[in-house]
Structure 1
Amino acid sequence: MKIAQVAPPWIAIPPQSYGSTENAIYHLVEELVALGHEVTLFAPADARTSAKQVSFIPRSLITEGVPWQANLKAYYHLHKSLEYIAEHDFDIIHTHLSSSSDMYIFPLTATLPTPHMTTLHGYFPFDRTLDNWTGDADNYFMEWARDVPLIAISESARKHVLHLAPSVTFAGTIHHGIQMQHYKPDNIQSGEALVWLGRFTYEKGAHLAIEAALKAGVPLILAGIKEQQSRDAMEYYRHLVEPYIDGERIRYLGPITTQHKIALLQQARALLNPIEWDEPFGVEMIEAMATGCPVISFARGAAPEIIWHGQTGFLANDVGEMTHYISQLDSIDRQIVRAHTAQYFAARVMATKYLDVYTRVIASQLTKATETSIKNTQPLVQVKTENMLSV
Structure 2
Amino acid sequence: MEKIGEAVKILLVNMFYNEEGGAQKSTTLLAEQLAKEGHEVSVYSIDTDKPVKEQKNGVNVYRRSTWTFNLNYIFKPQKSVLKHLFYKCFETYNKKAEHNFEEILEQVKPEVVHFNCLSGMSLSIIEIAKMRGIRTVLTLRDYWLEKPWGIKKNFLVKIMNKRLEPRIKKTLSYIDVVTAPSAFTLNHFIDKGYFNPSLQICKVVENAVTFSYSNLKEIIEEKRSIVHEKNTRFLFVGSILRQKGIFKMVDAFKKLSNYPDITLEIVGRGADVEQLQQEIVLDSRIRYLGFQFTPKLDEIYRSADVLLVPSDWDEPFGRVVIEGNSNGLPVIGSNRGGIPEIITTTGGGEIFDVSNVLNLVDVMEKFIKMSDYNNYFDSILLTIDTYKIEKQSEKFLRLY
Q: CA, structure 1 residues 74+242, in 2 after alignment: closer, same or farther (shift >3 Å)?
A: farther
Of the candidates 162, 172, 191, which is equivalent to residue 190 of structure 2? 162
Aligned length: 345
Paired residue for 1:365? none
CA drift at 1:341 = 5.2
Q: Which segment drifts farther, 323-332 or 129-138? A: 129-138
Distance 1:46 1:295 in 2: 39
TM-score normalized by the length of structure 1? 0.77
Distance 2:281 2:173 in 1: 47
Distance 1:193 1:268 in 2: 5
Is the aligned partner of 1:177 residue 2:213?
no
Q: Deviations over 1:20-64 (max 9, x none)?
A: 1110011111221222222222345497732331424389x9998
Listed as ranges, the gaps of 5+ residues in structure 2 are 1-6, 76-83
Distance 1:78 1:19 in 2: 25
Paired residue for 1:121? 141
Is the aligned partner of 1:332 residue 2:359?
no
Of the candidates 97, 105, 113, which is equivalent to residue 85 of structure 1? 105
Is the aligned partner of 1:226 residue 2:226?
no
Q: CA, structure 1 residues 63+274, in 2 after alignment: closer, same or farther (shift >3 Å)?
A: same
Q: CA, structure 1 residues 90+8, in 2 after alignment: closer, same or farther (shift >3 Å)?
A: closer
Listed as ranges, the gaps of 5+ residues in structure 1 are 228-233, 359-391
Contact 1:292/1:337 (<8 A) preserved? no
Contact 1:245/1:252 (<8 A) preserved? no
Given residue 121 of structure 1, which amino acid in structure 2 is its aligned partner? R
- Equivalent runs, 1:1-391 vs 2, <5 Å: 1-9=7-15, 11-13=16-18, 15=19, 18-43=20-45, 45=52, 49-57=56-64, 65-67=72-74, 70=87, 71=90, 76-77=96-97, 79-86=99-106, 88-97=108-117, 99=119, 101=121, 103-123=123-143, 124-129=145-150, 133-134=157-158, 135=160, 136-148=163-175, 149-168=177-196, 169-181=200-212, 184-185=215-216, 186=219, 187=222, 189=226, 192-216=232-256, 217=259, 218-227=262-271, 234=272, 242-246=278-282, 248-308=284-344, 311-317=347-353, 318-329=356-367, 330=370, 331-333=372-374, 335-336=377-378, 338-340=380-382, 342-358=384-400
Q: Deviations over 1:307-338 (max 9, x none)?
A: 03894110111332322222333442364354
TM-score normalized by the length of structure 2? 0.75
Q: CA, structure 1 residues 310+338, in 2 after alignment: closer, same or farther (shift >3 Å)?
A: closer
Q: How high is the sequence identity, in percent, across the aligned residues?
A: 18
Distance 1:346 1:36 in 2: 18
CA drift at 1:203 = 1.8
Contact 1:289/1:338 (<8 A) preserved? yes
Q: CA, structure 1 residues 219+104, in 2 after alignment: closer, same or farther (shift >3 Å)?
A: farther
Q: CA, structure 1 residues 74+209, in 2 after alignment: closer, same or farther (shift >3 Å)?
A: farther
> What SS class does the counterpart of residue 258 from structure 1 fall into?
coil
> What SS class does the counterpart of residue 225 from structure 1 fall into?
coil
> What SS class does the counterpart of residue 186 from structure 2 fall into?
helix
> What SS class does the counterpart of residue 117 from structure 1 fall into?
strand
Q: CA, structure 1 residues 314+241, in 2 after alignment: closer, same or farther (shift >3 Å)?
A: farther
Given residue 52 of structure 1, which amino acid in structure 2 is its aligned partner? V
Q: Deviations over 1:237-267 (max 9, x none)?
A: 5556632234622211122213222221111
Q: CA, structure 1 residues 355+113, in 2 after alignment: closer, same or farther (shift >3 Å)?
A: same
Distance 1:243 1:213 in 2: 12
Distance 2:387 2:338 in 1: 13
| Larger Cα-atom Rg | 1
Q: CA, structure 1 residues 184+310, in 2 after alignment: closer, same or farther (shift >3 Å)?
A: closer
Given residue 10 of structure 2, which amino acid in structure 1 is its aligned partner? A
